[in-house]
Structure 1
Amino acid sequence: MQIVTDSGVDLSPQQMDELNTLGIPIHVVPLVVTLEGQTYREGVDIQPDEFYRLLAATDSLPTTSQPPAGDFADTYRRLAASDPDILSIHMSSGLSGTFNSAQAGAAMATEANVTLVDTKTLSAAPGWQVEAAARALKAGWATEKILALMERINAATDSLYTLKELEYLIHGGRISHMKGLLASILNIKPLIGVEKEGGTYVQHGQVRT
């Protein structure tokens, strides 16, 4: 079995290097980032350091989109040539269309036997599930046991986020322009989590900085 994920699952370069050293390669399908009319594949055409440097130098706001279904299909077909069994682990379908894109790609790649996992979370939290699945696979665990392990990790994990700037929430329609303006004036920052049932954002409260 082989493991596929997306770049919205934040595995650090150190984690990737360690897993590769152990002989557990993770195949990452990149999300697409657009900034100032230029489109980049995350981790392929642009690295995080360069992206943040460009972001700091512009007044434009970035947009992201899920990988095309064809990118997943191409990845599944390529991997199926050596092993058709694939575990494809992705960020929450409640926050991104990436899981649905992977699902469509799996339907296109009929030569692959793809098991899809919606982690119902994002950022580092699904990365822990990917790493645990990879290590369990290396240890020879059966697919059902690996899936149960990932469910236990998800149940035991709660993530809490806040933002230095609110303009991205306003731009993305997460909060209204008026609420964002008032919060910025009063130095109020939302505390945001991801609820486990639907994998969508939920506000846990707010703090004044």
Structure 2
Amino acid sequence: MSIKLFADSASDLPLSYFEDNQVSLIPLRVYIDEAEYEDLKTIHPKQVFQEIRAGKMPKTSQPSPQDFHEIFTEIARSNQSGIYIAFSSALSGTYQTAVMVHEQIKEEYPDFDLTIIDTKCASVGFGLVVKAAAELLQKGATKEEIVQDIEFRSQHMEHLFTVEDLDFLARGGRLSRASAFLGGLLNIKPLLHVEDGKLIPIEKIRGKKKLLKRILDVMEERGVDLENQLIGISHGDDEAAALELKSLIQERFGTKDFYINMIGSAVGAHAGPGTLAIFFLNKKK
């Protein structure tokens, strides 16, 4: 039985990745004024950041139950096996909706073989989990091997990031334990991470130089074999900052492999321009 991989656009991989690597894209929705867009398919992240800079406040929503129903029914009818790798359930209802639709379809197709995994990851951290799964599929791994790898990476993926304006995260309800961080952030840079799928502030740091050094310090505290890992970096339309962080990581840890991409439209609508994030494993098999 062939295996189909699915992932949603909050993995912040480019559209070309999905087209070239046997991964089916499930796009989240982005709304600007009265217009509705499908993340990656009908809107590019750069447009979202440009709209935010122009004073617009994009909104987002998860894929509709109908979207999942059509995709999952097609797999059930074709008697294929599927794995849906999902955005953190603490940040979106996408995972819960997929589970609900899966249960409905199994009433009609009781042998439907679909595994849905809540990665509790976001952005390129989520994307690194998807990339590893796709590589295993291409190498002929079994479904059990792929699922085990997804679960391991999801549990051990570190997210460290900073944003230009915490108000974006606060307004969207994506930020936890943030009250002490809001307001009066003149040259104060927040450092956050993901804990059990939620966005959690760690500390406030004055100045970009100190912030980047602190990110590297935390990487050293939490990471393992950073020289030989694939390190992910995502940015809110600020490639220069991403490349600066890459250079600092190379200099300190000797890291060889990086995956750098702009934050996608759905995640970017909440994180805002100037966001900078780093992703790495805190444990290796």
- TM (norm. structure 2) is 0.63
- The residue type paired with residue 208 of structure 1 is R
- Give 1:205 deviation, angstroms: 1.2
d(CA) in 2 for partners of 1:84, 1:161: 38
One-letter amino acid of the counterpart of residue 67, structure 1: P
State the match for 2:81 in structure 1: 85
Work out the CA distance in 1 between the residues paired with 2:51 and 2:8: 22
Task: From 45, 49, 68, give the equivalent of 1:48.
Answer: 45
**Residue 106 (structure 1) aligned with residue 102 (structure 2):** yes
Equivalent position amino acid for 1:38 in 2: A
**1:56-86 CA deviation, whole Å, 9 max, x = no partner?**
33x2312211111211111112233434311
Aligned residue type for 2:25? V
Q: Aligned partners of 1:172, 1:129: CA distance in 2, in Å?
A: 25
Q: 1:35 aligns with which of 32, 48, 52?
A: 32
Partners of 1:193 and 1:201 within 8 A in 2: yes
Using a 3 Å threshold, how does the CA distance of structure 1 residues 54 and 87 change in structure 2: closer, same or farther? same
1:121 Cα shift? 1.1
1:160/1:192 contact within 8 Å kept:
yes
Please state if 1:117 is matched with 2:117: yes
**1:203 aligned onto 2:206:** no
CA root-mean-square deviation = 2.1
Q: CA deviation at 1:94?
A: 1.1
What is the alpha-carbon distance in structure 2 between the residues aligned to residue 32 and residue 13 of structure 1? 15
In the alignment, residue 129 of structure 2 is paired with which amino acid? Answer: Q
Task: Tell me which moved more, 88-97 or 161-170.
Answer: 161-170
Q: How does 1:1-209 map to 2 (within 5 A)?
A: 1-13=3-15, 15-16=17-18, 18-19=20-21, 25-57=22-54, 59-110=55-106, 111=109, 112-173=112-173, 174=175, 175=178, 180-183=182-185, 186-195=186-195, 198-209=196-207
Give the fraction of aligned pairs with identical amino acids, expressed as a percent. Answer: 30
Q: How far does residue 35 in structure 1 lie from its aligned partner after superposition?
A: 1.7
For this pair of structures, how many residues does the alignment match?
198
Q: Distance in 2 between matches of 1:12 and 1:41?
A: 13
Q: Tell me how far apart the structure 1 counterparts of residues 38 and 14 of structure 2 sit (CA, whole Å).
A: 17
- List per-residue Cα deviations over 1:153-198 (Å, max 9, x = no partner): 234421101101233134224345x953322xx3222211111xx3
- Aligned-pair CA distance for 1:104: 1.7
Work out the CA distance in 1 between the residues paired with 2:204 and 2:60.
Answer: 26
Match of 1:181, SS state, is coil
Are 1:32 and 1:67, in contact at CA under 8 Å, matched by a contact in 2?
A: yes
Question: Judging changes above 3 Å, is the alpha-carbon distance between structure 1 residues 200 and 70 closer, same or farther for their aligned structure 2 residues?
Answer: same
| Counterpart residue type for residue 2 of structure 1 | K
Amino acid at match of 2:100: A
SS of aligned partner of 2:60: strand
Q: Which moved more, 1:45-54 or 1:27-36?
A: 45-54
Runs (4+) of structure 1 moved beyond 4 Å? none
What code does the residue aligned with 2:63 have? P
1:22 aligned partner: none
Q: Distance in 2 between matches of 1:15 and 1:40?
A: 19
SS of the equivalent of 1:126 reads: helix
Q: Distance in 1 between matches of 2:166 and 2:134?
A: 36
Per the normalisation by structure 1, the TM-score is 0.84
CA distance in 2 between partners of 1:137 and 1:34 (Å): 34
Displacement after TM superposition at 1:203 (Å): 1.5
Question: How far is 1:17 from its partner?
Answer: 5.1
